Amino acid sequence: MAGKRSIVSTPDAPKAIGPYAQAVRYGDLLFVSGMIAIDPKTGILLTGDFEAEVARVLENIKAVVAAGGMTLENVLKVTVFLEDLGNFAKFNEIYGKYFGNIFPARETVQAAQLPGNASVEISVICGK
């Protein structure tokens, strides 16, 4: 697949906190960087409420995906990092509300430490 590489960004998701883009489009694919629960309006990381963190991360991803001209229905692959796999069932409950019957491919792993001591980080790959 030949394609032109372009950067995708939106003020509706947190700014990159390092030398990376919110997302990169290549042809019909969109690669969204790992997102944590930073509120894009305040720049503050949500902590202390796992469910609120997951929802904020998924809203951030939804905003970047929309900026790339796609929806969550275009998500092909999801990578999830949880600080504690004991939250796996809670995570799935919230995740299911966003993805319903779409069922992208996914892996979920426990990470020793996430940026900013976040509880969850998620990245996605989308395609048209």
66-112: pLDDT as tens digits = 999 999 999 999 999 999 999 999 999 999 999 989 899 999 999 99
pLDDT category of residue 1 using cuts at 50, 70 and 90: very low
- Count CA atoms within 13 Å of residue 124 on its CB side: 27
The structure's pTM equals 0.94
Arithmetic mean of pLDDT, 110-118:
94
- Total count of residues recorded for the chain: 128
Mean of pLDDT over the chain = 95
Q: Which domains does the chain have, with CATH numbers?
A: 5-127 (3.30.1330.40)
Q: If you compute the radius of gyration of the chain from its CA atoms, what whole number of angstroms results?
A: 14
